Chains A and B, each alone.
Chain A
């Protein structure tokens, strides 16, 4: 126990290996693989520090590749179209990111959006409710359904996967029941619910207000995640629940709030969707949940929580869109898109594993 005995200084190094010692034991050069280690480790550290950097590089590289394959790819009209096409999944992915940062997952995301959209459409078209009120009620329903998800996860402590698998079925059925399976069209083009489809011209570049709404969401939640205590607590809860609890964070309140806020975001995504197509339909897409998860994962957010950034998700959603449009313009068979997405997802998660193993 070293009573009064001063230990020789070198003994301390045995119990606690310093990074210096670790390097020294590997010091014998072992060919080109060894030569690569140092730059690889710097890269690992860089990507660890800046979570959006990896997705940004992939986005730039893939856009450049598709531009080389077909010079129409970066035409203004095509870029504008890509931005408009990404708005719905891009907006949904903001909510999915928040949930995945708490080590959760939301499979009900698309079903909830469609349900909210049907509520807005039913109220505004069939019930004669003023559009603004229909929008607010729809957003309120989004929050309420989010609260249901959140309460089951945080209070009843069910796994998010199971909870949202259940509500996926429930919301789908409710949307079908509400609409009777019919598509409703907006006859009045000045309807406020269609505002998100309004074209805005920046010189010769035309995009919709829905694009701005989506970008606004990213900006807002980037701010909330990086600059507020709520954001820090979301990361902490996803990272280590017990440590967060001991630090005095109200873990259940944080998790519940995330699902409620996500519900409101899905409501805004529903608004964007209505503006894009000018109608509401209960069967617009059945893969919105997986599409949003794909965007978040490719954007570098970890499925295990606590790691990821908003801008990464934006890049992730854009990467999927770039592949979508790029493959189409290159005349490649459409079946290769899911193939490319699948490879990207596995690559992104592999990269995440490697980055998390970082040591200084």
Chain B
């Protein structure tokens, strides 16, 4: 068990995204109690924890969807305060949230480009603010095809007419297409079928090979063992350990998650 919080594989490198001592309370419930996290260039960081451990809240704090009560976040070595999700998008952090971030009645292309629509070139775009719908559709089809999602063909189809798995595929496709610096996936395959999950996992591996850092929340231990370089374990709003799949066993990680085993330094 690599129980050191200073991590073996990434020594000497600067984290792309790092948070220190994050606290966040909702009313009297403290969801995060001084949690730390850091993700290094080119790695997949698994994030595990029981229900209520604070995984989703931590992700929201990292992506501008929530403001932490205290603690600092630094991006590429510089301290930042994200003013909303758009700000995080602009620096290149993309997220697939647990609740699907898609508008069901809009079509697939509009959803992929929601909040970052492309305008036509020239006077139509600059003067009349006309959107380049055809090129957005074409590029959306390309991005979806790049993911190997073959069940979605028609980009003008409303998302609400898709199956749950296909909707999640749209959300993952959007994040993968625009996440240039960090990709955060909050249980992206929870609603997917076996084949679609496999495709998403394959994609995560391919994105890692390109050097894109990924934070990947999942309850699926075998998949984490296959994809993650390090696995951070949250319990009751704190980081209790960081494990490495090579040296730790799934049983150990589960024991830490549930509190059956505790770390000395905690």
Decide yes or no whether A202 CB sits under 8 A from chain B.
no
A229 touches B129 (CB 8 A): yes
Question: CA of A117 to CA of B131 in the docked complex: distance in angstroms?
Answer: 36
The reply to whether the CB of B110 lies closer than 8 angstroms to some CB of chain A is yes
Q: Interface segment, A66-74, A79-87, A246-254?
A: A246-254
B219-266 interface (Cβ within 8 A of A) = 220-222
**In the assembled complex, A358 has its CB within 8 A of some CB on chain B:** yes
B131 surroundings in chain A (CB, below 8 A): 227-229, 232
CB contacts (< 8 Å) of A360 on chain B: these are 157, 161-162
Is the C-beta of B105 less than 8 angstroms from some C-beta in chain A?
A: yes
Give A45 to B196 CA distance when docked, in angstroms: 25
> Which has the most chain A C-beta neighbours within 10 Å: B85, B99, B116, B160?
B160
Given A228-B129, A229-B129, A359-B161, check contact A244 B103 (CB 8 Å).
yes
- Docked-complex contact A48 and B161, CB < 8 angstroms: yes
Q: Which of A120-128, A235-243, A321-329 contacts B (4 or more CB under 8 A)?
A: A235-243
A232 touches which one: B114, B128, B163 (CB < 8 A)?
A: B114
Q: Which interface class (under 10, 10 to 19, 20 to 34, 35 or more) fits A? A: 35 or more
- The answer to the question of A307 belonging to the interface, with a C-beta cut-off of 8 Å to chain B, is yes
Interface of B is mostly: loop
Given A236-B114, A243-B100, A227-B130 contact (CB < 8 Å): yes
A246-B157 in contact given A3-B222, A240-B103 (Cβ < 8 Å): no
Which of under 10, 10 to 19, 20 to 34, or 35 or more describes the interface residues of B? 35 or more
Residue B71 at the chain A interface, CB threshold 8 Å:
no
A-B residue pair count with CB separations less than 8 angstroms: 107
Instruction: Check A187 for interface membership: any CB of B closer than 8 A.
Output: no
CB distance from B58 to the nearest CB of A (A): 16
Closest to B88 in A: A248
Is B15 among interface residues, defined by CB-CB distance under 8 A?
no
**Are A1's CB and B104's CB within 8 A?**
no
Q: What residues on A are CB-neighbors of B177 within 8 Å? A: none
Specify which of B161, B162, B221 lies most central, judged by the most chain A CB atoms within 10 Å of its CB.
B161
Other than the given A45-B161, A233-B114, 9 more pairs (CB < 8 A) read A48-B158, A228-B131, A236-B106, A236-B114, A243-B102, A244-B114, A246-B85, A246-B97, A306-B103
Chain B residues close to A by CB (< 8 Å): 65, 84-86, 89, 95, 97, 99-106, 110, 114-117, 119, 128-131, 133, 157-158, 160-165, 192-196, 220-222
Some 16 contacts from A to B, beta carbons below 8 A apart, are A1-B220, A16-B163, A16-B164, A16-B165, A223-B128, A227-B131, A227-B133, A232-B117, A235-B106, A236-B106, A236-B110, A242-B99, A246-B85, A247-B115, A248-B84, A249-B86
